[in-house]
Amino acid sequence: MSVSIEHKPIIGFSCGDINGIGIELILKVLSDSRVLEFCTPVVFANNKVLNFYRKTLPEVNINFAQVRELGKVNHKQINLFQSWEEEIAITPGEMNDTGGKYAVISLTQAAEALKSGLIHGLVTAPIHKKNIQSASFNFSGHTPYLKQLFGGKDVAMLMIAENMRIGLLTEHVPVKDISQFITKESILSKLQVINQSLKKDFLITKPKIAVLGLNPHSGDEGLIGKEEIEIIKPAIKEAKQKDIFCFGPYSADAFFARGQYEKFDAVLALYHDQGLIPFKSLSLGEGVNYTAGLNAVRTSPDHGTAFDIAGKGLADETSTRQALFSCIDILHNRNEYSNQRANPLRKLSKSVVANAIDEKINED
């Protein structure tokens, strides 16, 4: 069964690590009643866990409508889908197996609902990559899990903010192993994903993409590494032949220091810290992690579980709020993109089309 997006979208929230700041962030964002004007939220969690964190936030006034069937959500309230019934220990600030286990339960239920069309978009609260590992869940994070679940050929972790978008070629890869993942094929694939996402998800007609170099000073013409000459430049050349408007490779330090990123619709960084350090420094706390390339919409705040402040009411919900509204915006953009490309002639019979052509000829 699928739901309609005619009025406002149904947005699911996975709760993240129950000992981290995820549930606190969700409570803070959804406590603003104006959210219901834009979407119908569904939180995949447990009422006792929500109540535990609600007591740590005396300024937050929020109620949930419990639903057991996602096809019967209450569009006038915030909905709670009871993801588990059993009693569990909640220990804010502690990384343990319980936190990871129930983060995965929430995530997999929400993701399956997204895949089935029972929700329109998904906002994922932070998980910890270490304690989510199990025999049944062996992924380094949300992105590879969602790629496999939705059967995508390739996806890109695209960090988005008001002033920049940065995609990652490699994500959670040890620094010593990064170079082996830098291939012409992988660069071209990511550029194709990002280019299409900019058109479909952000309605940019002719996206302009910058590609960063791997080595210091972008290799200094082969003096400090040859990846730029042998791999990256050929990939950019081939991408241009496929009508992708891309440039580079650029030396990462000067590129951000001189504000060159402002001239592009997106940047392809080659490894995690090359892209994430400038992004988190320049996005002013409003960054969002978006999974480009899926046939579904998933966003997330651009930070982790923050165990050090969990349960203290100190977490800043700005990035989670931005993740919610980015999810809504992208859904509407995709709908508009689809409508712009709908062929109105398909709705007309052949005779109507023929008559219209005949009338035009007679007029001429």
Q: Which of 62, 82, 65, 83 is nearest to 73 (CA)?
A: 65
> What's the confidence (pLDDT) of residue 260?
95
Burial of residue 303 (CB within 10 Å: 0-12, 13-18, 19+) is middle
| Dist CA 242 CA 269 (whole Å) | 20
pTM (2 decimals)? 0.89
Strands 156-161 and 266-269: unpaired
Which pLDDT belongs to residue 340?
A: 86
One digit per residue, pLDDT tens: the chain, 364 residues?
Answer: 344 455 699 999 999 999 999 999 999 999 999 999 999 999 999 999 999 999 999 999 899 999 989 989 999 999 999 999 999 999 999 999 999 999 999 999 999 999 999 999 999 999 999 999 998 899 988 999 999 999 988 999 999 999 999 999 999 899 999 999 999 999 999 999 999 999 999 999 999 999 999 999 988 888 888 999 999 999 999 999 999 999 999 999 999 999 999 999 999 999 999 999 999 999 877 899 999 999 999 999 999 999 999 999 999 999 999 999 999 999 999 999 988 887 655 544 444 444 544 554 445 4
**pLDDT at position 219:** 80
pLDDT on residue 284? 78
pLDDT reported for residue 111 = 97
Any residues with CB less than 8 A from the CB of 22 and at least 6 apart, and which?
A: 15, 16, 103, 125, 126, 127, 305
pLDDT of residue 302: 92
Side chain identity, residue 117: G
Q: How many CB atoms lie within 10 A of CB 110?
A: 27
Dihedral sign for Cα atoms in the order 80, 36, 325, 342? positive
CA 279 to chain CA mean position, Å: 15
Distances (CA, A) of 216 to 105, 213, 219, 282, 350: 42, 8, 6, 21, 61
Longest dimension (CA), the chain: 80
- Amino acid symbol at 162: E
CB of 319 closer than 8 Å to CB of 303: yes
- What is residue 364's predicted lDDT score, i.e. its pLDDT? 47
Say if residues 296 and 143 touch (Cβ distance below 8 Å): no
The whole-angstrom separation of Cα 2 and Cα 105 is 22
